[in-house]
Amino acid sequence: MAGIESLGNIKTYRRLGIMGGTFDPIHFGHLVAAEEARVQYQLEHVVFMPTGRYEHKEACQYVSPEERFTMVVIATASNPYFSVSRLEVDRAGPSYTIDTIRAVSEACGTETELYFITGADAVLDVTSWRDYEKLADFCRFIAVTRPGYDLAHLRAIVSRGENAPQIDTIEVPALAISSTDLRNRVSEGRPIRYLMPDSVANYIHKSGLYR
C-alpha cells in the first residue's frame, strides 16, 4: 500500500494515533494536539496524515499537497514519536477517512488499536463523514479542545447508536491558531513566528508560499 511503507515498523505498535488535517500550513495547534493525545493515551506513535488535493476557497494562496507534506515533515522531524504518511497525498482523487483508516488498519494488523485525533471543530462534522458508523470497526476518536468550539454539544449531536464510533474528549493547551489566519498573515505581510516551528516559517518565506 503506497504511503504505508514510510511508517516504519507499523505492525509492532499496539496503540497508534492518526492526526488528519490539511495542514495548510501546519502550526503549533496541530502539534500540541498530537503530543497531548500521544501522552494521555499512551500512544506509541502518531502518524500525521496530510490530505491530498482539496477544494480551495482562495485560489491565489494555493499550495500543493507535496508542499503541505514537506511542511509537516519539517515540523515533526524533531519528535521521534511522530511520522508523516504519503497515503492521501499520493492519491489522485479525494480521500475518505474510512478508506484511509481501513488501509492503515490492514497494514497494522488486528493487534493495533487505532486512535483518530481530531479538533473540536472537525469532530462536530464526523456524523456527516462517509460510512461514519463503519469507522467504529477500525478506530476510536480522540477529540481535542479548540478555542471557539464547544465540545459539550458533541454528545448530543453524535448519534449514540450501538455501532457509532467511540469519541473521547481531552483538554489540550488552548492555542487560538488556525491555518486560515496564518495564510492571511503571510499574504498580508504580518508575522507568523511563534505560531509554528521556526523551521516551517522559514520554509514558507524561502519558498514564497501564501504570498
**Size of interface with ligand ATP, in residues (CB under 6 A):** 18
Helix (H) or strand (E) holding 105: helix 97-108
- Report the DSSP beta bridge partners of residue 170: 144
Spatial distance between the Cα atoms of 11 and 155, rounded to a whole number of angstroms: 33
CB 83 within 8 A of CB 7: yes
Shortest Å distance, C-beta 108 to ligand ATP: 21
Q: Which stretch binds ligand ATP (CB under 6 A): 4-12, 73-81, 101-109, 176-184?
A: 176-184
Beta-carbon contacts of residue 142 (< 8 Å; ≥ 6 apart): 17, 37, 41, 115, 116, 117, 118, 167, 168, 169, 170
Q: Number of C-alpha atoms within 13 angstroms, CB side, residue 107?
A: 21
Spatial distance between the Cα atoms of 71 and 77, rounded to a whole number of angstroms: 10
What three-state secondary structure class fits 206? helix
Interaction of residue 180 with ligand ATP, rule CB under 6 A: yes
Interaction of residue 38 with ligand ATP, rule CB under 6 A: no
Which member of 122, 154, 186, 209 binds ligand ATP (CB under 6 A)? 122
Which member of 40, 127, 169, 178 binds ligand ATP (CB under 6 A)? 178
Which member of 4, 175, 184, 185 binds ligand ATP (CB under 6 A)? 175
Which member of 71, 115, 118, 167 binds ligand ATP (CB under 6 A)? 118
Shortest Å distance, C-beta 79 to ligand ATP: 16
Query: In the complex with ligand ATP, which residue's Cβ is closer, 14 or 176?
Result: 176
Q: Which residues bind ligand ATP (CB under 6 A)?
A: 21-24, 29-30, 33, 118-119, 121-122, 144, 146, 175, 177-180
